[in-house]
Copies of this chain bind each other. A is one copy, B any other.
């Protein structure tokens, strides 16, 4: 099985995300409230629509723009590689009412999916956005099929979903969706430019009418060629994704998460969200991030270890390496587990990684196990003494905890933390272990939008003319916490809505 099938999101090998210092902001020319008068750049080109970002959201927006009559669409990608985070995930999309789901006679509904999302979001979701998303879901499937995307002939039910509704690319990768869509759109005349950093919007009389672009942009050095301006007749769609790799921004807006690595590609930084705030975009849930408790410092991003971790949580236990004791229900919510892990700190506030472990029985035919063992993320130890020594845990306490756990397994009840015990698997050597520390996985927040994907202004509480946004750069769809495999849905559905509404906009 392809190793990317084992990743929630793989991680592009390369340098760690650079911190964008104020000086480099100036170099890259991120302006506060610039317009063509201030920068003096006259637009050399005109397109019907300009889209910032080339992942699921940008691709869907371009498709919908063509579908609704636009001819000249430009997609600008900051990085060398197209696709952002969308090419490094497992290619899963949750869609109530997709043609594939219907073909299997599975009962589902838009209302049920909405309720699942609201429940996950603790009802902080902006309901009008959820309504728009679930209504658009079937069309997302048709769009991908039209572009030649190949899906596995399967519809699965993930945690938190009330029905099987998650479909996935047949190569288990987001690339299996992005690449065909990208090719299809190019074939229809959509212009794609990589290494093109949108440093500013062009605003005339409170209307967004174009963008300023730095070509030949190198993300690592923040340098590029001579900037140029593009006029966008119908406006601009921001599809720039999240900023999980921007440690400086996250440390300032959510200090408790400042130690966290993330599962995003290195280009997931905050230039665009900051630019949008500078133009008055309403911040929504801006500091609410999803953190994954299945993450480990021993691999980049969310790799094979993070996939196998779920089985350790289900059938094994996690302990505090300082005292060898369990400290949380290993099947509690992501937030609860992550927050419990993050309490394992030394007196200076530095992480002391907890670790989870399981018996050999748990490893059999389990996704992620072989790869993570080979990569050294999952470690085998022959005895409890070796296990304790590996993590610096007190061996007597650890033995006692294992005995207590096994007794609870025999009784079928976790009287300490209430974890459901479905299978009577006791912990016996050899042990297979992973050490954990949460990683930042998703930005629930971003700019506020209407259900037409128009960006809302905090100055007026109304849309900013000519400015659209969709996907991870927006906030409100997912409320306090995102349901699994619905970020892709958000990108595709709201991306379509942005592209459509921009195309149909009366000028």
Contacts and interface: CB of A to CB of B under 8 A. Distances in A.
A221 interface: no
Nearest to A461: B252
A368 interface: no
A227 interface: no
A223 interface: no
Contact of A252 (B254, B277, B343, B448): B448
A460 B26 CA distance: 11
Contact of A283 (B25, B286, B456): B286
A408 to B, nearest CB: 23
A12 B395 CA distance: 64
B459 A25 contact: yes
A125 B339 CA distance: 13
A249 B128 contact: no
A206 B395 CA distance: 58
B252 A282 contact: yes
B255 A460 contact: no
B255 A128 contact: yes
Contacts of A124: 254, 256, 287
B287 A284 contact: yes
A458 B274 contact: yes
A90 to B, nearest CB: 29
A312 to B, nearest CB: 24
Contacts of A22: 459-460, 462
A33 interface: yes
Interface in A267-307: 270, 274, 277-278, 280, 282-287
Number of copies: 2
A357 to B, nearest CB: 26
A277 B342 CA distance: 31
A253 interface: yes
Nearest to A445: B287
A253 B278 contact: no
A348 to B, nearest CB: 13
B283 A283 contact: yes
A48 interface: no
B123 A277 contact: no
A251 interface: yes
A343 B30 CA distance: 44
Given A256-B123, A256-B124, A284-B287, A459 B251 contact: no
Contact of A255 (B127, B256, B277): B127
Nearest to A281: B277
Interface string A123-153: 1111110000000000000000000000000
A22 B252 CA distance: 31
A25 B283 CA distance: 20
A458 to B, nearest CB: 5
A317 to B, nearest CB: 23
Contacts of A414: none
A379 to B, nearest CB: 30
Contact of A287 (B32, B285, B459): B285
A216 interface: no
Contacts of A460: 22, 25
Interface string A231-273: 0000000000000000011011111100000000000001000
Given A123-B342, A249-B458, A253-B282, 14 more contacts: A22-B462, A32-B33, A125-B256, A127-B256, A128-B255, A252-B282, A252-B461, A253-B283, A253-B458, A270-B458, A277-B280, A277-B283, A283-B283, A285-B287
Interface of A: 22, 25, 30, 32-33, 122-128, 248-249, 251-256, 270, 274, 277-278, 280, 282-287, 339, 342-343, 448, 456, 458-462, 476
15 contacts: A32-B33, A122-B339, A124-B254, A127-B256, A251-B461, A252-B448, A253-B282, A253-B458, A274-B458, A274-B459, A277-B458, A278-B280, A278-B459, A283-B287, A284-B287
